[in-house]
């Protein structure tokens, strides 16, 4: 990992905030979403989509979309408001929508499908899944 990627990754983790980083570290979360109103939602195996008690600021959502656009080598602005990328180092899928489509940036982060397959096929208990996720670097 180059120092530049490390700095970008640190900046991204800071912008994501504790709530989203914590959700991404949870092996049962398959998707994290932030709606234009700032509400953060998670989609957990066995529970479905649910809002969290957390929100994200407009500035932080915009920063996340801009950081991932830069990581993907694309420009995000009013003319090109859609960003598809992968998170650096961890590889989760990212979709971002920037104004003017919505007043505030919207984002969606999907986890590695292999983790989901492992959890479902093994019918693992949470402790086993946590151990598996730790061993796989998730």
CATH class assigned to 3-133: alpha beta
134 in Cβ contact with 115 (< 8 Å)? no
Tens-place pLDDT, residues 69-126: 998 999 999 899 999 999 888 889 999 998 888 888 999 999 875 555 565 555 555 5
Residue 75: exposure state from Cβ atoms within 10 A (0-12, 13-18, ≥19): exposed
What is the value of pTM for the model shown?
0.76
Tens-place pLDDT, residues 7-47: 878 888 888 999 999 999 888 899 999 999 999 999 998 88
């Amino acid at each position: 990992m180059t120092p530049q990627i490390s700095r970008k990754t640190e900046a991204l983790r800071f912008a994501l905030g504790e709530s989203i980083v914590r959700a991404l570290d949870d092996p049962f979360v398959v998707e994290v979403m932030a709606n234009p109103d700032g509400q953060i939602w998670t989609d957990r195996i066995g529970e479905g989509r649910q809002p969290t008690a957390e929100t994200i600021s407009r500035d932080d959502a915009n920063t996340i979309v801009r950081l991932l656009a830069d990581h993907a080598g694309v420009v995000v602005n009013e003319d090109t408001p859609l960003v598809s990328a992968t998170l650096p180092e961890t590889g989760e899928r990212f979709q971002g929508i920037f104004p003017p489509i919505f007043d505030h940036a919207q984002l969606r982060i999907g986890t590695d499908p292999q983790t989901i397959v492992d959890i479902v096929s093994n019918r693992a208990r949470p402790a086993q899944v946590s151990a598996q996720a730790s061993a796989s670097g998730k």
